[in-house]
């Protein structure tokens, strides 16, 4: 018998049955009235079925088991008991594994669980985060060799029909306070320069260079200078026309609004142009916006960019500068991007997410999202769909 006196016991109590108001209160009342104390408690409800587990320290000469069995019989609940060691089982540091996909098959759960077990990990808890527009689940894994689990799961994720993220439990996930996003093909579905090039009559030429630059085949700064030069002579009104044709990525507005409600700070860091990004930031309520500035003289584009170009290296510098401005560490920054120009930014942040990205970016990022909804990134932060809906944003 485990006891600190001759008859004191530590008991694991589990209560299962149809959930309804008053069950938890009734159990606690029985325990409290007996003079017992609770060492630990967890409760979950799945499809209206209650599962309540408690570790209870029972004082000498009190028959709590009989009283709880009577309560269970009266309430038509199943009550089970097990005498356990009074010393709590150590809980090793945990990893949070997030699965996101249009559908998550049991075999994908099996593959993830097998990978966890292979590196010494045990799944401590599984929580559903969302059922639509995608399925999302969060697994807390304990005891795994973290670097090995992260590496193997991210490699395995390429063969699964879902996306996987692996972060340390605690501040690495919940402590994220600043979300920094690329704009072209991330926050919006378009490429800003391609929209402008259509008005200049160079759509195909510019689009080809843009695609090669985003795939990492061309130096971004040189390619930007080359493309902007083709805009020479374009009237400034073409910028407003391009802005009017911008299409937000599905879920973008919900994503930013939810972050704002939750108290996150947001930023966009773009290889595009301030004349468009600044209006996007105002419209969506984004806190910081950085991009390139097109030179305009007498109402006409000169084909040049003013000031330093926001390229791959500058984006990484801005991660550090924004963290300093917000008074946080870079480990609390999440960066989201899709192109080769985002690689250094994703690496510099505490968590780098490749969103529907080019292969070179997916290979290098901490995790990937390949569903078409930007707000799916919220699930990588542990935000649940019902929280979004409760805020009137879903």
Task: Please pick, among 40, 63, 80, 184, the residue that the annotation labels catalytic.
Answer: 184
The SS3 assignment for 266 reads strand
- pLDDT score for 171: 46
CATH number of 9-83: 3.30.70.260
277 Cα distance to chain centroid: 23
pLDDT of residue 61: 67
* Predicted local confidence at residue 155, as pLDDT: 73
Which helix (H) or strand (E) segment holds residue 136: the answer is strand 135-142
- Count of residues making up the chain: 394
Told to judge if 80 belongs to the known catalytic residues of this protein, a careful annotator would answer no
For the chain, where do the domains classified as CATH 3.40.50.1000 start and end?
A: 179-390
- How far is the C-alpha of 20 from the C-alpha of 172, rounded, in Å? 36
**Distance between CA atoms of 152 and 371, rounded to whole angstroms?**
21
Nearest Cα to Cα of residue 330 among 341, 312, 318, 313:
318
Question: How far apart are the C-alpha atoms of 346 and 352, rounded to whole Å?
Answer: 4
Residue 219 designated active-site = no
Task: Give 249's DSSP letter.
Answer: P
Whole-angstrom Cα distance, residue 225 to residue 374? 30
Question: Where do you find CATH 3.30.70.260 in the chain?
Answer: 9-83, 94-169
Fold held by 94-169: Alpha-Beta Plaits (3.30.70)
CA atoms of 38 and 56, how far apart (whole Å): 5
CA atoms of 64 and 47, how far apart (whole Å): 29
Query: Residue 175: what pLDDT?
Result: 61
Mean pLDDT, contiguous 10-residue spans, the chain (394 residues): 58 93 92 89 88 89 85 93 79 85 90 90 90 91 85 77 82 71 96 91 87 84 91 94 96 94 95 95 97 96 94 96 94 94 95 92 88 93 84 70
| Topology given in CATH for the domain delimited by 179-390 | Rossmann fold (3.40.50)
Q: Which residue carries 């985003």 as its tokens?
A: 214
Confidence (pLDDT) at 6: 54
Task: Exactly one of 29, 63, 163, 182 is catalytic; name it.
Answer: 182
Tokens matching residue 267? 């930023």
């Amino acid at each position: 018998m485990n006891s600190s006196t001759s008859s004191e016991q530590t008991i694991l109590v589990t209560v299962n049955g149809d959930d309804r108001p008053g069950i938890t209160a009734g159990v606690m009342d029985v325990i409290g009235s007996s003079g017992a104390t609770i060492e630990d408690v967890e409760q979950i409800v799945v499809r209206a079925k209650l599962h309540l587990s408690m570790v209870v320290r029972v004082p000498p000469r009190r028959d709590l088991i009989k009283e709880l069995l009577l309560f269970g019989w009266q309430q038509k609940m199943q009550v089970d008991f097990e005498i356990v060691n009074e010393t709590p089982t150590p809980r090793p540091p945990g990893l949070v594994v997030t699965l996101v996909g249009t559908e998550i098959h049991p075999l994908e759960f099996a593959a993830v669980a097998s990978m966890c077990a292979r590196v010494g990990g045990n799944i401590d808890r599984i929580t559903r985060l969302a059922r639509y527009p995608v399925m999302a689940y969060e697994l807390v894994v304990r005891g795994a060799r973290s670097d090995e689990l992260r590496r193997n799961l991210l490699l395995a994720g390429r063969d699964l029909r879902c996306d996987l993220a692996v972060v340390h439990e605690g501040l690495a996930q919940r402590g994220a306070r600043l979300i920094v996003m690329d704009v072209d093909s991330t926050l919006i579905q378009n490429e800003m320069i391609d929209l402008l090039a259509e008005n200049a009559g160079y759509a195909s030429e510019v689009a080809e260079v843009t695609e090669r630059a985003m795939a990492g085949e061309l130096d971004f700064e040189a390619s930007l200078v080359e493309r902007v030069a083709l805009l020479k002579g374009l009237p400034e009104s073409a910028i407003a026309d391009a802005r009017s044709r911008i299409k937000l990525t599905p879920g973008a507005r919900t994503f930013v609004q939810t972050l704002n409600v939750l108290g996150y700070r947001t930023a966009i860091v773009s290889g595009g142009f301030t004349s468009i990004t600044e209006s996007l930031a105002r419209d969506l309520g984004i806190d910081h916006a950085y991009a390139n500035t097109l030179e305009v003289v007498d109402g006409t584009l000169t084909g040049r960019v003013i000031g330093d170009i926001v390229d791959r290296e500058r984006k990484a510098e801005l991660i550090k500068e924004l963290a300093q401005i917000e008074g946080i560490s870079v480990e609390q920054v999440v960066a989201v991007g899709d192109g080769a120009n985002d690689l250094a930014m994703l690496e510099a942040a505490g968590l780098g997410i490749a969103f529907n990205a080019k292969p070179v970016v997916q290979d290098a990022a901490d995790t990937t999202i390949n569903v078409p909804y930007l707000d799916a990134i919220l699930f990588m932060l542990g935000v649940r769909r019902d929280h979004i809906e409760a805020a009137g944003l879903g």
